Amino acid sequence: MAPRHPNRRRHVTVVSLLLLVLATVLGPAPSSAAGADWWNPVARPAPDSRINVTGEPFTGTTAEGEVRGFVDAHNHLFSNEAFGGRLICGKPFSEAGIADALKDCPEHYPDGSLAIFDFITNGGDGRHDPVGWPTFKDWPAHDSLTHQQNYYAWIERAWRGGQRVLVNDLVTNGVICSVYFFKDRSCDEMTSIRLQAKLTYDLQAYVDRMYGGPGKGWFRIVTDSAQARQVIEQGKLAVILGVETSEPFGCKQILDIPQCSKEDIDKGLDELYALGVRSMFLCHKFDNALCGVRFDSGTLGTAINVGQFLSTGTFWKTEKCTGPQADNPIGGAAAPEAEQKLPDGVEVPAYNADAQCNVRGLSELGEYAVRGMMKRKMMLEIDHMSVKATGRVLDIFEAESYPGVLSSHSWMDLNWTERVYSLGGFIAQYMHGSEAFSAEAKRTDALREKYDVGYGYGTDMNGVGGWPGPRGADAPNPVTYPFRSVDGGSVIDRQTTGERTWDLNTDGAAHYGLVPDWIEDVRLVGGQGVVDDLFRGAESYLDTWGASERQQAGVNLATGGSATASSAEWNPFTSYAPDRAVDGARSTRWASDWSDDQWLRIDLGATNLVGRVTLDWERAYGTSYRVELSTDAVTWQTAWSTTTGDGGLDTARFTPTPARYVRVQGLDRGTDWGYSLYEVGVHSS
């Protein structure tokens, strides 16, 4: 595939069914208007956390007109409002102040005896000092998955340290909510999503009031790429809303029967777009009516597979992979407490080691949702999709030259990397420890160089994932405080909130305020080159977003054209005539007789420049075929050919050439049937 114009440069044995579901989570005023020290608030609440960063945040663009700054492509600011409201303890902000925001869940008092989630995710007996403000003896911590890590002042510190894009993924899961022991609200997913969106806007207003009024704060929610650029040029933080749920639009499935319709998808997409959402996942952990998922492994995978059965009535099903990409191995590790929840006589199936791909790909409803997102210029997250689903998504995007594809936290097969970059998509790596993060960044460095793109990280804070632990004060190259920000304009010291001061060397990435410290650790371990790529992340992310907004659906010159073929399969109930491949409907198709040498010819009605042909194959596909062009239907020239076709949606790109007639000449079949095409697209470029 010819590249398009690119962008600019877990842990304890399961003790109850709870684990299987818990694991599833998971225009502003000019800067001068705020005065000389525009970055400092005029009325911060007291008491409050310290920021421990001095110096003016960088503004403007590079000499080439590019914005600068880091990108967190995957965070969950308000997951404390998800899963029934008592899974993640504490809030990102409170009108009543920090003492109200940073306090533990009531059932964690007095000693954490009922901190069931803590026990399951962090081992031991779950006991801990529940007191947050002002002592913070036991939390937040890099290995505590139950306590707030996204307090607004900690986000402010990350912004002051050079971050300029933050994607707030609105997140919840109805199954987790239904089985967790403590909750204080309903488990309806959209109710939680709406609340989290509202609170994100409330946080913007909360910060604005500190800076003198609407539009003056550093926390700016943006809904298009141009607005994001304006915000970043002013030195502020562009906040983008995303969604990560297991059953978007109510699209779960029960015994393979979808529980949603196309109308539900359109209504859901319209509502999310109106809320300001511009990126989202279509599936997450459990197979749903839209797509199959990429598996989890080991004991955790077995537990989630039990949850898959209890939620959908079916276990994961696998098959041999057809390419270099694979879903995670499920493995055979037992999860006794989870398996006890299965009905009598039902067992988790065994899986062949050489069958590592989910049989479920992108469903018809899933494809409808993908095309609906494209229509609305939204970006699609492919992390958590099965490789079969991801492959189809990339086929669709390539056929339409649509760049809006994101991998935000290391949950896609890495063999997709170049294909994502060649589309113009954006990739961020999970916030691993500096050694692992740097090693992976260097492994893909050549591809970023080739496509001239920057890099991102996905912290997944409040996302039940775990974060980098301390390398130790005796590490050969520890973070030395204070240190300078990447741009050199700010000085960053150890972060203090209340009576607690955190040091990355000994505390790890305990909360969001330590993101700048982690980046400095990456620089020390991985080198300046890795951090330079991260610093170009804002520009690359906005390149992907902007290109998605500007993409125009090309005119399909073949739609409604005259089509003839060497043959057409006869059926007394359905027509498989040639014109069915150019009628604009993906529910009809042309099918040939069952032999190799067959062709389909399309008359465009007039001579046009032709530079791209898309072929949407039914199960009967061609392994070897040619795309031929002619101006008179007599003399033909081969524009493109392949001997390795594998079905699905193929895109043939070639130098635009004048042609009135386009012929698909089949040479070898991939099945015992003939050739069958749902739709052929012919485009100028």
Domains and their CATH numbers in the chain? 70-241+427-550 (no CATH), 297-357 (no CATH), 562-683 (2.60.120.260)
pLDDT at 7: 42
pLDDT at 116: 78
Q: 3-class SS at 406?
A: strand
Tell me which residue of 60, 286, 340 sits closest to 174, measured CA to CA: 286
pLDDT value at 167 more than 70: yes
At 444-498, the pLDDT tens digits run 999 999 999 999 999 999 998 889 999 998 999 999 999 999 999 999 999 999 9
**162-171, 306-315, 492-501, 516-525: range with lowest mean pLDDT:** 306-315
For the question of whether the overall pTM of this predicted structure is more than 0.85, the answer is yes
CB-based burial, 480-519: b 16+ in 10 Å, e otherwise: ebebebbeeebebebbebbebebbbbebbbbbbbbbbbbb
Tell me which residue of 286, 313, 385, 301 sits closest to 350, measured CA to CA: 301
pLDDT at 588: 96
Are 242 and 170 in contact by the 8 Å Cβ rule? The answer is yes
Which residues have a Cβ under 8 Å from the Cβ of 198 and sit 6 or more positions away?
none
Tell me which residue of 559, 555, 549 sits closest to 581, measured CA to CA: 559
Which residues have a Cβ under 8 Å from the Cβ of 176 and sit 6 or more positions away?
21, 22, 24, 25, 83, 84, 87
Kind plus residue range of the DSSP H or E element containing 197: helix 189-210
At 13-58, the pLDDT tens digits run 334 445 444 444 443 333 333 346 999 999 999 999 999 999 999 9
The pLDDT mean for the chain works out to 92
pLDDT value at 433 more than 80: yes
Highest mean pLDDT among 170-174, 471-475, 637-641: 637-641
Q: What is the mean pLDDT of residues 505-526?
A: 98
Distance CA(188)–CA(180), nearest Å, equals 14
Token representation of residue 228: 């994001």
Q: Give 127's pLDDT tier (boundaries 50, 70, 90).
A: confident
Q: What is the mean pLDDT of residues 195-214?
A: 98
At 386-411, the pLDDT tens digits run 999 999 999 999 999 999 999 999 99
Radius of gyration of the chain (CA): 27
Query: How many C-beta atoms surround the C-beta of residue 459 within 10 A?
Result: 28
At 535-558, the pLDDT tens digits run 999 999 999 999 999 998 788 999
Q: What is the mean pLDDT of residues 153-180?
A: 93
pLDDT at 120: 66
pLDDT value at 194 more than 50: yes
Distance CA(652)–CA(680), nearest Å, equals 11
Distance CA(410)–CA(634), nearest Å, equals 52
Token representation of residue 503: 């040091």
pLDDT at 2: 37
